[in-house]
Structure 1
Amino acid sequence: MNIEVVKVPLEEKQILNNLLKMYCYEWSQYNKFDVNDQGEYEFEYHLSDFWNKENHFPFFIKVNGILAGFVLIDDDFAVHLNYDYAISEFFIMHKYRRAGVGRYAAKFVFDMFRGKWEIGRHPHNIMSVGFWDSVVNEYTDGKYEIIKSCPDFVYHDGTYADIISFEN
């Protein structure tokens, strides 16, 4: 299996937006977002930030040349305002989950962007909680911090996020 993490060029923004719709739909079970009258999620309107704002980076995740997900990196922090990078959104399509694709992609971007990282996660998304605990623990050899139920990051559904932080 050949896994690639490739920067999304502006001309492929619509492809990323198509994947983002799937991601938003899946996420709606946790954050309780509705769609508007056009059937769009509000987050879709912020996608342009990843080409227009400094320190915002969109990446496709591909397996054998086929789209398998995406990762969005930015500097919009909930807690650690002096940090360097945050995982804004991370999505692996169901077919590729539990096959090492997400683990590879996460470690790849961590290696690509050296510095201080912040990752927010919804505590009710048990798959995400297990994934990030495992990946970050392995990547940092256990040298990371976690703030559970952080009052500085509240999801749309009122749930306090867990915040993972580390330096690489």
Structure 2
Amino acid sequence: MTRQQLSSATRQHSDSDSDTSYKTATSFHQFVLSFQWLITLLPLSLLSPVPFQGEHNMEIISVGEHNLNVYLNLAQSYEGEFSGITRKKPNECGLFPLDTQISDNTKGYLLIIDNTPAGLAAILAKSNNKYEVSEFYIIPYFRKQLFGKHFAHQLWRMFPGLWEVKQITGADDASVFWRKVISEFTLGNFLEDKYEDSYWGLVTRQQFCTVSE
């Protein structure tokens, strides 16, 4: 689920937690069905802005053995910045424990801007084209320049399906960020509720659909 200030940081755990919605006009399943008419009418290029192109060179690179150390280094910055919310402390070596490990089901990505590591993301692939943003972080130097938005949008283009993003209690700026970014990508077609997560407790959750071009 997301822990972010004006950056982007997302935390996720457990797919079996109970759901306490405060916007329960429709279930997510009903939302998906009602969204089908929009999917058939609008191509993905209209559902989201074009990839960022400007005076900076922005790349998204998959995490593998050759660059896992870069991901882990950024993850430590991420953990330290949000330790006030997560109440984590480093170990005797000065390292914070990580909640999400890169694995077959959870893929890591690095945002590289002008050859500089600028952020990270971890995407959990569930069954039947369902995905969750498990981790998301932009370092302070690159914030408020739309890089976080374009990073998220490009990741959603890469994996059409049903998505969810969660923010832990106390990460109010994160919720503001995700509502705006998701709303721009989906033209406002998303659901938000409160969700009791077994690992993080009460979180804010957004759910939405992406489609292939």
* TM tier, smaller: 0.7 to 0.9
Match of 1:124 in 2: 170
Secondary structure of the structure 1 residue equivalent to 2:95: coil
Q: Which residue, 122, 128, 134 being the options, matches 1:72?
A: 122
Match of 2:74 in 1: 19
Match of 2:145 in 1: 99
User: Larger C-alpha radius of gyration, 1 or 2?
Assistant: 2
Deviations 1:53-108 (A, max 9, x none): 333211100111211111111137xxxx8661110100001011110100000000
Partner AA of 2:86 in structure 1: N
Partner AA of 1:119 in structure 2: V
Q: C-alpha distance in 2, partners of 1:82/1:43?
A: 27
Match of 2:185 in 1: 139
Partner AA of 2:105 in structure 1: N
Structure with the higher fraction of residues in helix conformation? 1
Instruction: Specify every segment of 5 or more residues in structure 2 that has no aligned partner in the other structure, as ranges.
Output: 1-55
Partner AA of 1:166 in structure 2: F
Partner AA of 2:153 in structure 1: K
Match of 1:38 in 2: 93
* Deviation for aligned residue 1:9: 2.1
Check conservation: 2:129, 2:160, Cα contact below 8 A.
Answer: no
Check conservation: 1:154, 1:160, Cα contact below 8 A.
Answer: no
Percent pairwise identity:
24
Match of 2:39 in 1: none
Secondary structure of the structure 2 residue equivalent to 1:9: coil
Check conservation: 2:106, 2:122, Cα contact below 8 A.
Answer: yes
Q: C-alpha distance in 2, partners of 1:97/1:20?
A: 16
Against the structure 1 CA distance between its residues 19 and 36, is the aligned structure 2 distance closer, same or farther, given a 3 Å change threshold?
same
Task: Tell me: higher relative CO, structure 1 or 2? Use CA pairs within 8 A at least 6 residues apart.
Answer: 2
| TM-score, normalised with respect to structure 2 | 0.67
* Deviation for aligned residue 1:153: 5.0
Q: CA RMSD in A?
A: 1.9
Q: C-alpha distance in 1, partners of 2:197/2:70?
A: 32
| TM-score, normalised with respect to structure 1 | 0.84
Against the structure 1 CA distance between its residues 153 and 108, is the aligned structure 2 distance closer, same or farther, given a 3 Å change threshold?
farther
